[in-house]
Amino acid sequence: MAHIDIVDLVAGYGGSTILNGVSFSAGRGEVVALIGPSGSGKSTVLRVAIGLTPASGGTISIDGTPVDYARPAAVAALRRRMGIVFQQYNLFQNMTVIDNLVLAPVRTLGVPPAQAAARAHDLLARVGLADKAGSYPDQLSGGQQQRVAIARALAMQPDILLLDEVTAALDPERVGEVLETIRALADTGITMLIVSHEMGFVREIASQVVMMDAGRVVETGPPAAMFDAPTQPRTAAFMKAILRH
């Protein structure tokens, strides 16, 4: 059974359609990468999955059970096992790094503060920022903030992690440190949906690649097949355009 199974997802604002029947699935521990041109709906898939953007049709099932996004309790339960990291890090600007990591486990999972703090320090060490616990977000570089954001998501101990273009806002020399963190994460067995433009990274880390365009899935396959022998002309054109740079 797929860990996360997305079937026929439809979403849109007002009159415009953003997702027009998107389907794919990810097995437990699998890393699925969503690629495609800007505006193809990749990020919207993640936002719908975590309940930030409402879908108008289709289902998302976790371990075979469809999530009822209309029920606040169901969404709350979902968010205890699914985390997301945004392109713009979105750390709480009014809190220190450690407080960013401790807040949610204590308030939503009921973890004792001391235990949450200990775990937070472990996570910071894992992303290489053990010495930044007392800093405020605006004292860190973009890459450091993004690693804190990943640690914050992990503090909730999710078994599904959504990564939404997490390197797109970073200075080029900072991309590597964040990718290194994600690479380490992939080996822990957590299921990940990654939206990324870092094709080399996608090729290396993803077990499956989903090519999207105009709110639809164009093609799905393992990275080697997708990058070297795409069956769809749209995929081939996208690969050609993006790999030229």
Site residues for another protein per CB under 8 A: 50-52, 76, 79-80, 83-84, 86, 88, 90-95, 103-104, 107-109, 136, 138, 152, 156
Name the minimum Å distance from CB 77 to another protein: 9
Nearer to another protein, 109 or 225 (CB): 109
Name the minimum Å distance from CB 167 to another protein: 17
Edge-to-edge strands of the sheet including 4-13?
16-26, 4-13, 57-62, 65-66
Nearer to another protein, 151 or 199 (CB): 151
Distance CA 86, CA 150 (A): 9
Nearer to another protein, 147 or 152 (CB): 152
Task: Please choose, from the candidates 47, 48, 120, 35, the residue with its C-alpha nearest in 3D space to the C-alpha of residue 90.
Answer: 47
Q: What is the DSSP letter of 141?
A: -
Distance CA 129, CA 156 (A): 18
Name the minimum Å distance from CB 150 to another protein: 13
Distance CA 194, CA 234 (A): 20
Nearer to another protein, 108 or 115 (CB): 108
Q: What is the DSSP letter of 231?
A: S
Name the minimum Å distance from CB 117 to another protein: 16
Rounded to 5 degrees, what are φ and ψ at 94? -90, 5
Name the minimum Å distance from CB 109 to another protein: 8
Name the minimum Å distance from CB 84 to another protein: 5
Tell me which amino acid residue 195 is. V
Distance CA 214, CA 194 (A): 18
Nearer to another protein, 156 or 205 (CB): 156
Dihedral of the CA atoms 173, 174, 175, 177 (nearest 10)? Answer: 120
Nearer to another protein, 109 or 184 (CB): 109
